[in-house]
Structure 1
């Protein structure tokens, strides 16, 4: 079976971290090949928890001298730094034929079994798989769906081959304040993950978290 590298990005995510890893083991691979974590300057014990998790191959940290003076990380400021470094490390681990699953610490994979997940990685006619993203609102079983909030309508690529073609050189582009979680020039031949497979996004469950995100966007002078 081809190698599967799982990439996780986080910053101060103690509330979500163990749930995210647990969902990966139960829904994607109960025999994780490796888990690579990029920490965006956590100020709590997130890094310590990461280092104690089983199956963690490497914890990549944002260098302290690159952090803003106010203690903030790269999120919303220089995400290309995080994403490009994590991509570089992950492709080295995955090798020429390996697959990479990218997720954040507040993402829970659901609706798919480990066998089904590995079947996706055996596909020869695609080099990427897209999953629907469900923004949880107030509770994990409540997803916001309305005229203003439609992320779930557009499946996004989260599982892909690390080396889509010979001598692939990734290019990262910033859209708004975000860099995107895969290279902008990745040559996608994408399939849509079947059935009920989806990613639950827990970042909007709490009213406090929603308010903090809204304030962050206001401070940066952008809309989400």
Structure 2
């Protein structure tokens, strides 16, 4: 793992020109998936997802309104999940490509991670910005998530599990590591607050609130998740 992460060349695209309407999740389309472009997008509250079938086609840049977030102190760990944690070994960045491959499994409903997306996040991983948090059981990878860490922002991209509770355990592992310094500016972005994530404490913020809190989060120190 590279720490601190390496800043890539700046993007030539003017992503901040996009002016979304309230309630519209799709903000813009086009540009590229170079590391500088991706980092600029996250710093503006955007993330990429292709507009075609299973994520193919032109790149769409998304900013959900409302936005799903896990701010500091919001995580809810029920007693049953707390007991389940002991059955797993949580690791960071030991199987990044495998986690992305599981998340991109062609058999998954609603899949959107293409080869180009996987390669783009591998480049971010090599620079120290993208990370995987993994749940292992008996030496086998059984769950995990990946995302991008910038200052006090962790932008979650996707998660998977092959054993019950494994993805939840990975999320708990992420949140506990990411918030361990107690900095209230930190937030974990989950994009859309699903019912599943809501049970873990995810909140819905308006885009205006999210962007204001994002500006604060980006000023927080970078976290070494593997420490």
Quickly name the TM-score band, shorter chain normalised. Answer: under 0.3
Q: Scaled by the length of structure 2, what TM-score is found? A: 0.27
**Could you state the TM-score of these two structures normalised by the residue count of structure 1?**
0.27
